[in-house]
Amino acid sequence: MAVVGIVPAAGSGERLGADGPKAFAVCAGRPLVDWSLDVLAEVCERVVLAVPPGYEQPPDRVTGGASRSESVRLALAAAPEATVVVVHDAARPLITRDLVERCIAGLAGEYDAAIAAAPVSDTIKEAGAGGRVRRTLERSALWAVQTPQVFRADVLRAALGAGPEALARATDDAMLVEAAGGAVRIVEAPPDNMKVTRPLDLRIAAELLSC
């Protein structure tokens, strides 16, 4: 089994207010992405990043694409040896080795993917035009999806073969596997597997990483 990590790190970081790409914003004294790379390197035989133009460093830093899933596709193309793929967002620097290993173990049986997620604790309402509430969803079956997301490499490669429009619409790679009929398993993530999106998130993550 060849386990390869894939990190889509080509985002601009506009909401973060960073001077450059979000993955390379400084968090607790280091580039944000480095925190994830340290953990992935403990589990994966190799880690490939999809980065903005100008940040390439072959063979493990390749140019990203126009969408997140296209970046994953381009990074995976650079790792033909992969049989298991661990996709993780650079914006989640509090990833743990335990979570990665539990997601890999989640591929056991008939599953094509195992994805980190947290049970939804807020009341969720569906709204229409003008903000009018249509219905309140039953939250007991709802999960907020995160990364890492682990896939059988052949299944992910096939799913990423969807056209550019489908890749652009996908909010995560598990969505593409689901659309192709793949079986996806939820793996519960710890509460602090947060995503850095805005400046406040960056400050919170830096504080937690400094503890």
Q: Which residues contact 89 (CB under 8 A, 6 or more apart)?
A: 7, 8, 36, 147, 195
Which structure tokens are listed for 41? Answer: 């390197």
Amino acid of residue 157 = R
**Domain chopping of the chain, boundaries:** 3-210
Single out the residue of 21, 39, 182 nearest to residue 100, CA to CA: 39
Return phi, psi of residue 209, to 5°. Answer: -70, -20
Amino acid of residue 175 = M
CA distance 206 to 25: 11
Which structure tokens are listed for 136? Answer: 């309140």
Neighbours of 38 (CB within 10 A): 14
Cα within 13 Å of Cα(167), Cβ side: 19
Mean pLDDT estimate for the chain: 95
Return phi, psi of residue 113, to 5°. Answer: -155, 150
Which structure tokens are listed for 86? Answer: 């661990």
Percentage of the chain exceeding pLDDT 90 = 91
Single out the residue of 160, 133, 149 nearest to residue 187, CA to CA: 149
DSSP 49-84: EEE-TT--BTTTEEE--SSHHHHHHHHHHT-TT-SE
pLDDT of 200: 95
Mind listing the pLDDT tens digit for each residue in 69-117?
Answer: 999 999 999 999 999 999 999 999 999 999 999 999 999 999 999 999 9
* Mean of pLDDT values over 198-207: 96
pLDDT of 170: 96
CATH of region 3-210, choose from 1.10.238.10, 1.10.1520.10, 3.40.50.2000, 3.90.550.10: 3.90.550.10
Mind listing the pLDDT tens digit for each residue in 124-133?
Answer: 999 999 999 9
Mind listing the pLDDT tens digit for each residue in 42-68?
Answer: 999 999 999 999 999 999 999 999 999
Q: How confident is the model at residue 137 (pLDDT cuts 50, 70, 90)?
A: very high
CA distance 174 to 144: 13
Contact 75/60 with Cβ under 8 angstroms?
no
Contact 2/83 with Cβ under 8 angstroms?
yes
CA distance 100 to 114: 10
Single out the residue of 59, 66, 80, 57 nearest to residue 8, CA to CA: 66
